[in-house]
Amino acid sequence: QVQLVESGGGLVQAGGSLRLSCAVSMPTVSTYTMAWFRQAPGKEREFVAAMWWSSGSTRYADSVKDRFTISRDSAKTTVYLQMNSLKPEDTAVYYCAAERLMLSNIAKYYGYWGQGTQVTVSS
């Protein structure tokens, strides 16, 4: 059974911080890429960040580079997204996703998804 469960979303003011968590349940996570995507109302799903679990290699969307950090805790099998200097345009539902042997920024290549957690940034 593969299950991804996001948490940590909420309402914050511009300039604030949030840390999202994705609890990962799968037999072997080490061969997977974990990623965060987001989707605002009326907009297409947007890549945020990804990490190849085994090596820790990462990639980020230009819009969040230097503000967001993806990380993982191997012991807890949990993926995090630390979000600093939040802006109103970061408002979206954030989704955790997983796919084998990729470091992709394309949503359709990911085979497993969480339910999403809402992040709202007020001005």
pLDDT at 82: 98
φ, ψ (nearest 5 deg) of residue 72: -140, 155
R_g over Cα of the chain = 13
β-partners of residue 97 are 35, 113
β-partners of residue 63 are none
pLDDT at 84: 98
C-alpha span between 123 and 118 (Å, rounded): 16
pLDDT at 27: 80
Half-sphere exposure of 52 (CA within 13 A, CB side): 10
Predicted confidence (pLDDT) at residue 1 exceeds the cutoff of 80? no
Per-residue pLDDT tens digits for 12-59: 999 999 999 999 998 888 889 999 999 999 999 999 999 999 999 999
Per-residue pLDDT tens digits for 83-120: 999 999 999 999 999 998 788 999 999 999 999 999 99
